[in-house]
């Protein structure tokens, strides 16, 4: 079994559950959904995928992001499901959106950040707790190089950003602030101190 590309480091509890505090204004469609994507994507991979599949196709809703990343394949799967199911997802980074979590955020039809949001761009990494034979390691190294290039190109297309600009952020890695995302044209600002925040979304 090949190593798992992921982000080593701190771990959080992940969830992708409907918000119990969603009270839309009268002029907002009541069919809208509201979910959260937070913590390490690897912790509840099945729950995250199933929750997206349970949403009505071509429906519109909000995804709140506060994730440090995780398994890059999980991030890829979530982004693919958002697009495959025609979801009009509005992504809002309420805290952090880093590494593998960038893929589902980039797949959102509309993207918002607060002035205090942080997004970490870096090359994919891999680690394995299993014993790997030499032949497997060689094959994984070959595949890893192809995967790295392919995912960089995909992220560039999802964000609709210049590939060279993405490379500048990704290598060796860089923390990008909310205002920088707005300046690059990759997201819009949501002001937490506006009287009616819903009008911004």
pLDDT digits (tens, 9 = 90+) for 30-82: 448 999 999 999 898 999 999 999 999 999 999 999 999 999 999 999 999 99
Q: What is the pLDDT of residue 41?
A: 93
Stretch 114-125: mean pLDDT: 94
- Strand-pair category, 4-5 with 126-127: antiparallel
Q: What is the pTM of this model?
A: 0.82
Q: CATH class for domain 4-19+31-190?
A: alpha beta
- The confidence score (pLDDT) of residue 128 equals 60
CA neighbor of 37 nearest in space, from 107, 91, 110? 91
**9 against 101, higher pLDDT:** 101
**Ramachandran region, residue 112 (left: φ > 0; alpha: ψ -120 to 50; beta: rest):** beta
What mean pLDDT is predicted for residues 170-177?
Answer: 95
pLDDT band, residue 3 (cuts 50/70/90) = low
Instruction: Locate the domains of the chain by residue range.
Output: 4-19+31-190
Query: Between these two residues, 55 and 8, which has the higher pLDDT value?
Result: 55
- Return the DSSP state at 96: E
- The answer to whether 40 and 75 are in contact (CB under 8 A) is no
18: which DSSP letter? B
**pLDDT of res. 129:** 59
16 contacts: CB under 8 Å, gap ≥ 6: 35, 36, 37, 44, 47, 48, 51, 52
Question: Is the model's pLDDT at 125 over the cut of 90?
Answer: no
């Amino acid at each position: 079994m090949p190593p798992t590309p992921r982000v080593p480091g701190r771990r959080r509890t992940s969830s992708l559950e409907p918000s119990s505090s969603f009270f839309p204004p009268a002029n907002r469609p009541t069919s809208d959904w509201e979910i959260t994507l937070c913590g390490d994507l690897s912790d509840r991979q099945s729950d995250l995928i199933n929750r997206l599949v349970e949403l009505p196709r071509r429906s519109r809703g909000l995804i709140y992001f506060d994730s440090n990343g995780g398994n890059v394949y999980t991030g890829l799967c979530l982004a693919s499901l958002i697009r495959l199911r025609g979801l009009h997802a509005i992504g809002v980074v309420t805290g952090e959106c880093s590494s593998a979590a960038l893929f589902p955020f980039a797949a959102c039809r509309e993207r918002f950040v607060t002035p205090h949001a942080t997004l970490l761009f870096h090359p994919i990494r891999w680690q394995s707790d299993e014993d790997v034979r030499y032949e497997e390691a060689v094959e994984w190294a070959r595949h890893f190089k192809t995967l790295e290039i392919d995912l960089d190109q995909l992220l560039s297309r999802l964000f609709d950003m210049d590939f060279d600009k993405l490379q500048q952020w990704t290598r060796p890695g860089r923390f990008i602030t909310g205002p920088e995302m707005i300046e690059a044209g990759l997201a819009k600002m949501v002001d937490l101190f506006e009287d009616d925040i819903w009008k911004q979304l």
